[in-house]
Amino acid sequence: MTNVNDRIDPKLVPTRTLRGGEKIPAIGMGTFGSDRFTAEQIAEAVRGAAEVGFRLFDCASVYGNEDLIGEVFQDIMKSGIKREELFITSKVWNDMHGKGDVLLSCAKSLKDLKLDYIDLYFIHWPFRNFHPKGAPPDYHNPDAKPYNHEEYMETWYQMERLQKAGYVRYIGTSNMTIPKLKLLLRDCTIMPAANEMELHPCFQQPELFQFCLDHGIQPIGFCPIGSPTRPDRDKTPDDAVDIEDPVVVKIAKAHNVHPAIICIKWAVQRGQIPIPFSIYCNEYASNIRCVTEDPLTEEEMKELATVDKNCRLIKGQVFLWDGAKGWEDLWDINGEITTR
């Protein structure tokens, strides 16, 4: 049970508007345990997060905890929170792309989450390549292949079917690049409502962020605090540490808060929807409270824009294919899709 003083009225939380005009909370709660936290711990954190005012929850089949989180959603709704007050996302994992499997994956998530519909359903990665849970940094899947647009669209059209049938209300992309999004926008029948992408002060992705806004695609920012507890496979010695950045730390001191709070305020004021994760009540309660009070000044927002180091943390090297040169190949950094 959370402390009553930690609770805030969800109506005080800012909102964003999705294409079509629907409002979505401007902050959500992540549910990926980074191979460190158990499904039980995460499900309890979801319960606590709903108590303190979170209404948006970012789930995924690959996180391996949707069944326990689904039980918590049932309890939350029994406690008086209506289904339509919640905004729940899920994602199809890389081994369930293509005809048939997307529908099966969605059916499994619906069953586990104990829901009649998912609010926003993502394609988790634009590749069919996958790694097993807890994969080491040098894991290599011999069946991995570069991006294939025809295959991606086969998966996207299944996503569209799910939306048309009402199993999901919106569909979205994740871990995409501008060239891949351009092809999707050219060929889709239903536009993506959101793109989930890595966003934190040291990795602001200004071009992709703006591209999404220009096309009515809501950016949802993962690793908003710079993911200090991310899996070891996603850590390299050169990675920037957002919560130790001198500008972030200086502004945190001025507001008398932890640097994590500055990362979240910055994200919400910039316009993405951050989805911070924590199993600790004091952390997740302060993560939502901070977006309702003491905003950053324009000057501080400008200073934080200079913190960008183009430092991607979730490089995705475990998804690389034979012949790929390096993780950069996943991200089309020369503006063209890497197809070999």
Ligand X SMILES: NC(=O)c1ccc[n+]([C@@H]2O[C@H](COP(=O)([O-])OP(=O)(O)OC[C@H]3O[C@@H](n4cnc5c(N)ncnc54)[C@H](OP(=O)(O)O)[C@@H]3O)[C@@H](O)[C@H]2O)c1
Shortest Cβ distance from residue 152 to ligand X (Å)?
16
Q: How far is the CB of 22 from ligand X (least distance, A)?
A: 21
The nearest distance, CB 324 to ligand X, in angstroms, is 19
Give the integer Cα–Cα distance in Å for 148 and 339: 7
- Answer yes or no whether residue 273 interacts with ligand X by CB under 6 A: no
**Contact present, 105 and 61 (Cβ < 8 Å):** yes
**Alpha helices, H only, 166-245:** 178-187, 206-214
> From the CB of 149, what's the least distance to ligand X, in Å?
20
Rule CB under 6 A: which of 53-112 touch ligand X?
Answer: 58
The C-alpha atoms of residue 81 and residue 6 are separated, in whole angstroms, by 18
DSSP state of 294: S
Question: Which residues neighbour 171 within 8 Å (Cβ) at sequence distance 6 or greater?
Answer: 120, 121, 122, 156, 159, 160, 162, 163, 190, 192, 193
- Contacting ligand X (CB under 6 A), which of 2, 41, 229, 292? 229
Residue (10 or 126) nearer to ligand X, CB: 126
| Binding window for ligand X (CB under 6 A); candidates: 1-9, 160-168, 253-261, 291-299 | 253-261
Element spanning 113, H or E: helix 101-113
304: nearest Cα among 259, 257, 239: 259
Under the criterion CB under 6 A, does residue 222 sit at the interface with ligand X? yes
- Which region among 95-103, 187-195, 207-215, 270-278 touches ligand X (by CB under 6 A)? 270-278
Q: Which helix (H) or strand (E) segment is 98 a member of?
A: none
The amino acid that residue 107 corresponds to is: A
The reply on whether position 155 binds ligand X by CB under 6 A is: no
Our measurement of the distance from residue 43's CA atom to the centroid of its chain's CA atoms, rounded to an integer in Å, reads 17
Q: According to the binding rule CB under 6 A, does residue 283 interact with ligand X?
A: yes
- The verdict on whether 280 is a catalytic residue reads no
Q: Which residue is nearest to ligand X (CB)?
A: 30
What amino acid positions are annotated as catalytic residues?
Answer: 63
**Which residues contact ligand X by CB under 6 A?**
30-32, 34, 58, 124, 174-175, 196, 222-230, 258, 260-261, 275-278, 283, 286-287, 314
